[in-house]
C-alpha cells in the first residue's frame, strides 16, 4: 500500500536555465497526503525535465518552501530555475498564501510563483529617480 500520495492541484510550464540556454519544462504543484486516511503532510513542487526525469521538492509548512527545496536540488544538478517565487521581491498576502499566487516588485504586480522573473523597467514617470537627480544637482554655498 502506498502511504505517501501526491495530489497535483496546478500544472504549467516554467523556465530552466542550464549551460547558457533556457528550456521550458512542466511543473506540478500540490499537496502531499499520507497514511491510510490520507491526512495532510505538506506541499510539493515537481519539475519534469525534457527526458522525463522528475525532481520533487517538499515542505511540510509552505508551498514556497517546497519551491526552495526543489531549487536546491536543481542547483545541485547544475541548472537553475527562473521562477519569481525564488525572488526576494515576491510576496504573498494572507489570502494568497500557499495558492501559488502572489505579488512581485515595487508596484506589487499580481503574478504566479512559477512565472519567469520579470525584468524591472524604470518607467518614464519615475518620481523617485527625478527627485534623486534634482537633489543630486543642488549645490549649497555658504557665504
| Pairwise CA distance, residues 39 & 67, whole Å | 21
What is the count of structural domains for the chain? 1
63: buried, middle or exposed (CB in 10 Å: 19+, 13-18, 0-12)? buried
Whether residue 138 is contained in a domain is answered as no
Tens digit of pLDDT for each residue in 107-134?
788 999 999 998 865 555 666 777 777 7
| Pairwise CA distance, residues 45 & 95, whole Å | 20
Under 8 Å CB-to-CB from 37, ≥6 apart: which residues? Answer: none
pTM greater than 0.85 (yes/no): no
Whether residue 89 is contained in a domain is answered as yes
Whether residue 80 is contained in a domain is answered as yes
Asked if 81 contacts 14 with a C-beta cutoff of 8 angstroms, the reply is: yes
Whether residue 134 is contained in a domain is answered as no
Tens digit of pLDDT for each residue in 14-39?
999 988 899 999 999 999 999 988 99
Tens digit of pLDDT for each residue in 34-91?
998 899 999 999 999 989 999 999 999 999 999 999 999 999 999 999 999 999 999 9
Whether residue 125 is contained in a domain is answered as no
- The parent domain of residue 32 ranges over 4-112
Whether residue 49 is contained in a domain is answered as yes
Whether residue 81 is contained in a domain is answered as yes
In whole angstroms, how far apart are CA 18 and each of 2, 4, 50, 64, 142? 34, 31, 12, 22, 58
Whether residue 128 is contained in a domain is answered as no
Amino acid at each position: 500500500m502506498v502511504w505517501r500520495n501526491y495530489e497535483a492541484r496546478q500544472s504549467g510550464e516554467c523556465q530552466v536555465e542550464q549551460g547558457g540556454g533556457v528550456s521550458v519544462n512542466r511543473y506540478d504543484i500540490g499537496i502531499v497526503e499520507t497514511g491510510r486516511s490520507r491526512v495532510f503532510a505538506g506541499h510539493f513542487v515537481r519539475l519534469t525535465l525534457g527526458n522525463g526525469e522528475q525532481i520533487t521538492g517538499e515542505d511540510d509548512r509552505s508551498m514556497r518552501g517546497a519551491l526552495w527545496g526543489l531549487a536546491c536540488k536543481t542547483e545541485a544538478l547544475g541548472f537553475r530555475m527562473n521562477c519569481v517565487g525564488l525572488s526576494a521581491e515576491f510576496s504573498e498576502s494572507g489570502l494568497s498564501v500557499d495558492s501559488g499566487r502572489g505579488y512581485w516588485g515595487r508596484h506589487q504586480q499580481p503574478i504566479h510563483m512559477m512565472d519567469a522573473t520579470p525584468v524591472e523597467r524604470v518607467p518614464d514617470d519615475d518620481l523617485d529617480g527625478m527627485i534623486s537627480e534634482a537633489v543630486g544637482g543642488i549645490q549649497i554655498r555658504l557665504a
